[in-house]
Amino acid sequence: MNASLNRIHQLLLQKGMAFVRYSLPESTESTTLISYHPQSFQDLNTLADTEEEGFVFAPFVADKAFPIWYYKTDDILNESTDNQNIIDYLSGLADRKKRGPVYPESTPKSEYHSAFNTYLFALNSGRLDKAILSKIVTHPKSKTSPLAIYTKLVETYPTAFVYMINLPSGELWMGATPERLLEQDKEGIKTMALAGTQQLDYRKVKAIVWKKKEIEEQAYVKNYVLKQLNAFSDRVQVSENYTVAAGNLAHLRTDFVVNQDFDRAEIVKMISLLHPTPAVCGIPLDASKALILDTEKHHREYYTGFLGPINSHSLALYVNLRCMKIEQEKFALYVGGGITRDSKLEKEWNETEAKAQTLLSVLTF
pLDDT tens column, 120-179: 999 999 989 999 999 999 999 888 889 999 999 999 999 999 999 999 988 999 999 989
| 18 pLDDT above the threshold of 90 | yes
Q: How high is the pLDDT of residue 103?
A: 63
Q: How high is the pLDDT of residue 99?
A: 62
Asked whether 244 and 251 are in contact (CB, 8 A), the reply is: yes
How far apart are the C-alpha atoms of 239 and 159, rounded to whole Å? 19
Is 216 among the domain residues? yes
| 101 pLDDT above the threshold of 60 | no
**pLDDT > 70 fraction of the chain, expressed in percent and rounded:** 97
Would strands 54-58 and 68-72 be described as parallel, antiparallel, or unpaired? antiparallel
Q: What is the mean pLDDT of residues 285-292?
A: 95
pLDDT grade for 248, boundaries at 50, 70 and 90: confident
Instruction: Identify the H or E element spanning 86.
Output: helix 84-91
Quickly list DSSP for 192-233: EEEEEEEE-TT--GGG----HHHHHHHHHHHHHHHHHHHTT-
Asked whether 320 and 306 are in contact (CB, 8 A), the reply is: yes
Q: Mean pLDDT in the chain?
A: 91
Q: How high is the pLDDT of residue 98?
A: 65
Whether the link from the prior residue into 276 is cis, omega within 30° of 0, is yes
- Enclosing domain of residue 43: 3-360
How far apart are the C-alpha atoms of 112 and 296, rounded to whole Å? 9
Q: How high is the pLDDT of residue 2?
A: 77
Report pTM.
0.93
Q: How high is the pLDDT of residue 342?
A: 87
| 44 pLDDT above the threshold of 80 | yes
pLDDT grade for 257, boundaries at 50, 70 and 90: very high
CATH of residue 325's domain is 3.60.120.10
| 365 pLDDT above the threshold of 70 | no
Is 343 among the domain residues? yes
How many independent structural domains does the chain possess? 1
Is 365 among the domain residues? no
pLDDT digits (tens, 9 = 90+) for 204-228: 888 899 988 889 889 989 999 999 9
Instruction: Identify the H or E element spanning 174.
Output: strand 172-177
